[in-house]
């Protein structure tokens, strides 16, 4: 068996230990004689799996008791619509900070439900930074303020928490949830698609303060009503059982490794290796303002874009794949989620050094 180093933005690398455990438990989950995906979601075995997943996630993120944890379907994109439906609570305006491609998608979807005020935008500099809160222009009557705390395409990350007072702060953390400790209590709602740091695509996790629930827009589909989902413990219909099981294994893997503080250290060290190399010369360049650079998604360009194809081909020969940047940004992008081992990053950095020496 050969495992390559996969720098995909998502679906992305998962911990090998998790995949191996899933393989070992595939045909007979712990003496049950069944695969997890064959289990009734109402049976004791599966109920225990989901309860453990929630308990472990609560522990990892120190989620306060007045927050619900929901395991939902439709990825993060479905939440773009569900969030205004659930959180407008009789209001008609929501504030959004526009930091890039994913914020834009959330804004577009919210506009189907309400008036959107763009409180701040970094479009003036091609989404290469996070607008500081001092320039935000929030509306007086916003139902919530929405941010995308890690722009997967642009590689821009909030490393601070906005202070929105009594207005609930809502955050799309799809591409960095579980990469660092967070103060959940500062947010009204946190959500994330699973396919980066958590598990299989399709699953979305929503963490929401319970007093925000129960005032959905008329006409909200039952499946999108967070209160209904919370009352049914994410089992209003058949939940994505196998995805939740894999997410649970990932949570256990994180706990065994020392939790999110340990993971954050590891992620800082990995990201630094790449940024130091990029900043250390003029062959590579980062388009992102230093203070706002993501630890998870690292876009960079080559000084001569005519070398891009050679870079990608030679990288692939070294077992380094999915380094092509998103078409809206160009260049390269290395996504180095929790499960990307240090060896993957050092191999990449060594390759980048060799490539520079050969082509400069």
Is 136 an active-site residue? no
Q: Which of 172, 253, 270, 292 is catalytic?
A: 172
Footprint of ligand PMP on 25-84 (CB under 6 A): 75-77
**x/- binding map, residues 184-203, to ligand PMP, per CB under 6 A?**
---------x----------
To ligand PMP, the closest distance from the beta carbon of 142 in angstroms equals 21
Residue 37 has what DSSP assignment?
Answer: G
To ligand PMP, the closest distance from the beta carbon of 268 in angstroms equals 20
Is 225 an active-site residue? no
Is 210 an active-site residue? no
Q: Which residue has the tokens 């395409």?
A: 153
Return phi, psi of residue 68, to 5°.
Answer: -90, 145
Any long-range contacts for 21-29 (C-beta under 8 Å, 24+ apart)? 21/249, 22/245, 22/246, 22/249
Pair 207, 61: CB distance under 8 Å: yes
Closest by Cα among 96, 114, 115, 93 to 106:
96
Per CB under 6 A, the list member of 152, 216, 286, 338 interacting with ligand PMP is 152
How far is the C-alpha of 136 from the C-alpha of 154, rounded, in Å?
Answer: 20
Q: Which of 68, 104, 196, 270 is catalytic?
A: 196
Looking at beta carbons only, is 116 or 352 nearer to ligand PMP?
116
Looking at beta carbons only, is 121 or 152 nearer to ligand PMP?
152
Structure tokens at 186: 């500062």
Q: What is the DSSP string of 291-352?
A: GGB-SSEEEEEESSGGGHHHHHHHHHHTTEE--BPPTTT-SEEEE--TTS-HHHHHHHHHHH
Looking at beta carbons only, is 75 or 168 nearer to ligand PMP?
75
How far is the C-alpha of 13 from the C-alpha of 210, rounded, in Å?
Answer: 33
Per CB under 6 A, the list member of 29, 71, 102, 226 interacting with ligand PMP is 102
Pairing, β 150-151 against β 156-157 = antiparallel
Q: Which residue has the tokens 């994180």?
A: 254
Looking at beta carbons only, is 194 or 302 nearer to ligand PMP?
194
- The residue number whose beta carbon is nearest to ligand PMP equals 75
To ligand PMP, the closest distance from the beta carbon of 294 in angstroms equals 10
**x/- binding map, residues 157-176, to ligand PMP, per CB under 6 A?**
---------------x-xx-
Under the binding rule (CB under 6 A), the answer on residue 325 touching ligand PMP is no
* Interface positions with ligand PMP (CB under 6 A): 10, 75-77, 102, 148, 152, 172, 174-175, 193
* Catalytic (active-site) positions: 102, 172, 196
């Amino acid at each position: 068996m050969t495992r390559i180093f996969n720098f995909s933005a998502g679906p992305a690398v998962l911990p090998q230990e998790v995949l191996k455990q899933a393989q070992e438990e595939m045909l007979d989950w712990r003496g049950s004689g069944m695969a997890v995906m064959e289990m009734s979601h109402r049976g004791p075995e599966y109920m225990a799996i989901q309860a453990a997943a929630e308990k472990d996630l609560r522990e990892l993120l120190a989620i306060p008791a007045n927050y619900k944890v929901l395991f939902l379907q439709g990825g993060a994109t479905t939440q773009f619509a569900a969030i205004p439906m659930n959180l407008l609570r009789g209001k008609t305006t929501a504030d959004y900070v526009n930091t890039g491609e994913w914020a834009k998608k959330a804004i577009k979807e919210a506009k189907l439900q309400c008036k959107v005020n763009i409180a701040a935008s970094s479009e003036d500099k091609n989404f290469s930074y996070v607008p500081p809160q001092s320039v935000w222009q929030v509306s007086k009557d916003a139902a919530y303020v929405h941010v995308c705390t890690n722009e997967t395409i642009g590689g821009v990350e909030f490393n601070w928490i906005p202070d929105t007072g009594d207005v609930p702060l809502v955050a799309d953390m799809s591409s960095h949830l579980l990469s660092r400790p967070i103060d959940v209590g500062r947010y009204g709602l946190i959500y994330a698609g699973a396919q980066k740091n958590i598990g299989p695509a399709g699953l979305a996790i929503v963490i929401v303060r319970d007093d925000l629930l129960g005032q959905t827009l008329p006409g909200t589909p039952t499946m999108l009503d967070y209160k209904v989902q919370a009352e049914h413990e994410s089992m209003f219909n058949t939940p994505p059982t196998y995805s939740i099981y894999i997410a649970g294994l990932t949570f256990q893997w994180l706990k065994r490794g020392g939790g999110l503080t340990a993971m954050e250290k590891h992620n800082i060290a990995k990201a630094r290796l790449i940024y130091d190399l990029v900043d250390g010369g003029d062959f590579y360049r980062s388009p992102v303002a230093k203070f706002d650079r993501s630890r998870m998604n690292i876009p960079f360009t080559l000084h001569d874009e005519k070398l891009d194809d050679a870079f990608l081909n030679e990288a692939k020969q070294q077992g380094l794949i999915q380094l092509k940047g998103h078409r809206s940004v160009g260049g390269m992008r290395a996504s180095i989620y929790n499960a990307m081992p240090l060896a993957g990053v050092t191999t990449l950095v060594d390759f980048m050094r060799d490539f520079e020496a050969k082509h400069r």
